[in-house]
Structure 1
Amino acid sequence: MKYFTPIIALFIFISCASKQVINENEIVINSTSLTKVGNDYEMKITKILSDSRCPEGVECIWAGEVQLELEIYKNQKFEKTETLSINYKTVEQNKDFFAKYILIDKKVKDILVQPVKKEGQNIELKDYVLKVELECYK
C-alpha cells in the first residue's frame, strides 16, 4: 500500500503536467469568452464575416478562407477590433499579427480555424474556434 500512493501521485502529476504543456503551446480563441494571449492582451471572436473553406469530402479549386473579426483587450479594457483573413496566402501576415500580442519567448507555429467545414452544415458563431499553435524559440 505504501508504494500505491506515490504511483497514483506520479500519474496525477504527469497528467497535470501534460495538460499544462498543451495550454502553454496553444491559444484557443472563441466567441464566448475572452482568451488571454499574453502581454496583458485578451481576444475574442466577435463575428464571422465569411467562411468559404472547402467542405470536407468535396473537391475544390482552392482551400478557401475564413474572414473574422477579433476584439482585442488590453488589461481588460477594449482596445480595438481587427479583421483577419485566415487562408494559405496570409499565414505569415497572421503570424506577425499574433506575434505582437503573445509571449516574448514563443513564436507562432500555425493558425487553424475549427470546426472543419462540412457540406450542407451551417456553423454557428459560438462553435468557431481560432487555434494559435506556439513553439519556443530554438
Structure 2
Amino acid sequence: MKITLILIALFHSVFTLNQDPEPPEYNFHDQLLCQGDSMSLGEKQIKFKKIVSDSRCPKGNGITCVWAGEVSVLVEFYEDGIFVGEKIIVGTNLSKGQNEIISNAAISLAEFFGTDDLKINGIMVSPYPEGRRKITPEEYSVNLHIAEKLKSD
C-alpha cells in the first residue's frame, strides 16, 4: 500500500512539473503622474487632470476629525489623441499610508474605450494633508494602478 502511494505521488509530481505554467491573466501598469501628465497604454491615454476636492483628515497633533474625509480626482481619457471622456473618482482614506482612495472594486474603462480589458485598480494621491497647511494644485500627484486583461489565444 505504501509503495502504491509513493508511486502515485511520484507520477503526479513528474506530470505536474512538466506542465507549462499558466500565463498571467492581467498585465499591470503603474505610473506616477503630476497634474497634466498622461499614462499611455498603446493608443489609449489616461490623463490626471486635477484634484477636484480634498477633505481628508490631516495628520498632526491637536487635530480631531469627525469623519475621515475624501478626495476626488478628475481623470480624462483619450484614444489616438482624441478626447473620449472624463471621470471623477472619489474615495476615502484607506490602507496604504492613508493615501489609497479606491476601494475593493476595480473601475472598468469600457464606457471610454469600448472594451472591458482595462480597469483602474487603484489611485494613490500624494501628498497627504498635514496640519493646517493647504496643498497647492501643483503639489499633487497620483500613482495610477491599471490592470490590462491579456488577450487569450
Bin for the TM-score computed over the shorter chain:
0.5 to 0.7
1:125 aligns with 2:128: no
- Contact 1:107–1:136 (CA<8 Å) still a contact in 2? no
1:126 match: secondary structure: helix
Match of 2:107 in 1: 96
Q: Distance in 2 between matches of 1:107 and 1:33?
A: 16
Q: Please state how far the C-alpha of 1:114 moved relative to its aligned partner.
A: 0.6
Instruction: Note the alpha carbon deviations across 1:24-74, whole angstroms, 9 max, x for none.
Output: 7522233132222x2532122223221000111234233211112111111
Question: Which has a greater percent of helix?
Answer: 1
TM-score normalised over the length of structure 1: 0.60
Match of 1:40 in 2: 43
Q: Distance in 1 between matches of 2:119 and 2:72?
A: 25
Code of the residue aligned with 2:123 in structure 1: it is I
Q: Where in structure 1 do 4 or more consecutive aligned residues deviate above 3 Å?
A: 97-101, 104-107, 133-137
Match of 2:55 in 1: 52
82-91 vs 68-77, greater mean Cα deviation:
82-91
2:31 match: secondary structure: strand
Instruction: Note the alpha carbon deviations across 1:59-108, whole angstroms, 9 max, x for none.
Output: 42332111121111112221112111022585134x2246987xx69983
Q: Distance in 1 between matches of 2:141 and 2:42?
A: 21
Matches within 5 A, 1:55-74: 55-57=58-60, 58-74=63-79
2:59 match: secondary structure: coil
Distance 1:136 1:33, change over 3 A: closer
Code of the residue aligned with 1:120 in structure 2: it is R
Gaps of 5+ in 2: 1-27, 95-100
Distance 1:39 1:60, change over 3 A: farther
TM-score normalised over the length of structure 2: 0.55
* Matched-pair identity in %: 24
- Contact 1:30–1:44 (CA<8 Å) still a contact in 2? no
Report the aligned-residue RMSD. 3.5
Code of the residue aligned with 2:30 in structure 1: it is E
Of 76, 83, 87, the residue aligned with 2:88 is 83
